Structure 1
Amino acid sequence: MKRLWLTALLALVSIFIIAGCSNTTTNETSDGKKIIKVALSDEVNPPFLHADDQNNPIGYDMDYLKEIEKKLPDYHFEYVWGEEETNLVGVDTGKFDLAINWFFKNPEREEKFLYPEKEYGYSLTALITKSDRNDIQSLDDMVDKKLAPMSPSGGLRAILNAYNEQHPDNPVAIESIDHPSNADNLKRVAEGKADAVFLNKTTFDAVQEQLNLDLKVGGVVSKEPIFVVFKKEHTELAQQFDQATTELIEDGTLSRLSEKWFGTDIFQDLDYINEKGFEHQQ
């Protein structure tokens, strides 16, 4: 009986040892690099992130991460597709080390996640108008004009709220609606029921590709910095990202990637961007 108990105990110890070794090996590559698990949103947003014909992730975000990986030789990045909110939960619980999907900073997320100091790019917000209109290029032009309805919360609404606080004598009229449809709003403008839609330029590109409406970008209104988000405890990794990102900006790498994917340098000012244009690459 003692021999049987000893055999069982040894077997149990062996299982724990094997499990421990297994956990160690899954955290490192065969050549000793630490594996960093990166969550990618399957709510794709070209040209920042989308998939090729083999469902491989491509876009500005991926090229950026490849450049970061070159500068951090002790790490190997592994990518996992997932729904955005699920990805963020995974970062919070430690399933993933970081997530990328052109995240803005906001107080709620800053409480739960670690943001690096340096943005890796910008999301451009724009006024979308009918193709034959040239009278709407900035928010100043929206006084006494009709804007398509928008959500009462979120990043786009915050931009308009800030504008109205700075221009109390000539505010932009905002109609609120829960869960507005971008497609419906664009159709409103195409049909003359609204003068403009305030929207992220890349969102407009994605919808317009499907609808092919008689619309254009009247003008890019703002540049909103976007960030990678990390698990709170990953301060060292975030600092390393910051240093590498700063180097990629200073040596012109990110400007070149921007030209490749957006057709313009999003690190330049708005006057340059509006003059140069903004046509993303598929």
Structure 2
Amino acid sequence: MNVLSVYRLLLSSAALAALLSGTPAMAKEWKTITVATEGSYEPWNMTLPGGKLSGFEPELMADLCKRMEVTCKLSVQNWDGMIAGLQAGKSDVIMDSIVITPERKKIIDFTVPYAQTPASFITLKGNLLPEATGADALIKLHDNPAEINPAIARLRAALKGKTIGIASGTVYTPFIDKYFKDIATVREYNSSADAILDLQAERIDAVFDDVTFANSIMGKPENKDLTFSGPKLGGPIWGEGEAMGVRKSDTDLKAKLDTAIKAALADGTVKKLSEKWFKTDVTP
């Protein structure tokens, strides 16, 4: 046996011994991470005319990566394939106003949440219900039909026979299917922006989406015909809050992100960015 063969045999034996002894593999040294985002969900994330990504999440991610001393590469990806892309190794992190849910936790891991926001119906002004005010402006719900059904009775009555637009694959989609599909037509879209375009063209009657997204688009002059319809719905019904998704195998990366997020929450960075982009505090 020549020297090279002996060397290979020793390496193989060492690897086998480590495997049998249960010695854990060396943790990955994260110097660069690829972060997938939609790039079209204002004000969470958006693509500027020159192609640069901006918004609450890109700015927060830049701060977190600085804290972790890693280089971040933001990558635009369609919402529908984001989790599959993460699993396939196309990205290391997904960050797109993703709400933590029990179903998603079966597939991927989540960081600690960095935001928690309500949702509402958006309609053309003068249609359906007016925006709720005062104590009725926000209704916090648990995932309990006995609690939800009385709270949305007026919404169901107003939307009977109407067409509701919803971005597919969001945490809001099952809610709309469960509580409105029996009395209204539900139309799914690849993005929230596409649903809004159809609403303005009067091809649908309402869109159900995140309040922060709605506030962002309503602030533009060309969208002055849009308004909230009925109360804003929030609370545990939407899960634990918005967080970043990582592969279950990347526990070390999750730990680094958790530490950075907690620090950004503690020193007021998340609050400052949320007030800049949402005009309100969305910290969980």
Give the TM-score range, shorter chain: 0.5 to 0.7
CA contact (8 A) 2:35 2:91 kept: yes
Q: Corresponding residue for 1:237?
A: 253
CA contact (8 A) 1:149 1:174 kept: no
Trace 1:1-282 onto structure 2 (pairs within 5 A). 34-42=31-39, 44-73=40-69, 75-116=70-111, 118-131=112-125, 135-137=130-132, 139=152, 141-142=154-155, 144-146=157-159, 148-150=162-164, 155-159=171-175, 174-179=183-188, 182=195, 183-185=197-199, 188=202, 197-201=207-211, 202=213, 205-206=216-217, 212=223, 214-218=225-229, 219-222=231-234, 224=238, 225-267=241-283
Question: What TM-score comes out, normalization by structure 1 length?
Answer: 0.64
Q: Check 1:143–1:85 CA distance in 2 against 1; reply closer, same or farther (3 A cut).
A: closer
Moved more, 84-93 or 225-234: 84-93
Q: Check 1:253–1:48 CA distance in 2 against 1; reply closer, same or farther (3 A cut).
A: same
Deviation of 1:55 after TM superposition, in Å, equals 0.7
Deviation of 1:50 after TM superposition, in Å, equals 0.8
Deviation of 1:56 after TM superposition, in Å, equals 1.0
Cα distance in 1 for partners of 2:91, 2:75 equals 9
CA contact (8 A) 2:122 2:207 kept: yes
- Structure 1 letter corresponding to 2:251: T
Q: Encode CA deviations 1:48-82: one digit per residue, 9 max, x unaligned.
A: 11122321111100111112112212x22122223
Question: 3-state DSSP class of the match of 2:157?
Answer: coil
CA contact (8 A) 2:163 2:187 kept: no
Q: Corresponding residue for 1:271?
A: none
Q: Corresponding residue for 2:9?
A: none
Deviation of 1:203 after TM superposition, in Å, equals 5.4
Q: Check 1:264–1:178 CA distance in 2 against 1; reply closer, same or farther (3 A cut).
A: closer
Q: Check 1:247–1:204 CA distance in 2 against 1; reply closer, same or farther (3 A cut).
A: closer
Larger radius of gyration: 1
Deviation of 1:37 after TM superposition, in Å, equals 1.7
- Structure 1: runs of 5 or more not aligned: 1-26, 165-170, 269-282
Q: Check 1:154–1:80 CA distance in 2 against 1; reply closer, same or farther (3 A cut).
A: closer
Cα distance in 2 for partners of 1:84, 1:197 equals 18
Question: 3-state DSSP class of the match of 1:248?
Answer: helix
Deviation of 1:156 after TM superposition, in Å, equals 2.0
Aligned length: 224
- Structure 2 letter corresponding to 1:217: F
Deviation of 1:258 after TM superposition, in Å, equals 0.6
- Structure 2: runs of 5 or more not aligned: 1-27, 138-151
Cα distance in 1 for partners of 2:201, 2:77 equals 30
- Structure 1 letter corresponding to 2:76: W
CA contact (8 A) 2:113 2:242 kept: yes
Deviation of 1:176 after TM superposition, in Å, equals 3.8
Question: What TM-score comes out, normalization by structure 2 length?
Answer: 0.64
- Structure 2 letter corresponding to 1:131: K
Question: 3-state DSSP class of the match of 1:80?
Answer: strand
Question: 3-state DSSP class of the match of 1:103?
Answer: coil
Question: 3-state DSSP class of the match of 1:54?
Answer: coil
CA contact (8 A) 2:108 2:247 kept: yes
Deviation of 1:129 after TM superposition, in Å, equals 4.3
Instruction: For CA contacts below 8 A with separation 6 or more, give which structure has more relative contact order.
Output: 2
Percentage of identical aligned residues = 19
CA contact (8 A) 1:127 1:136 kept: no
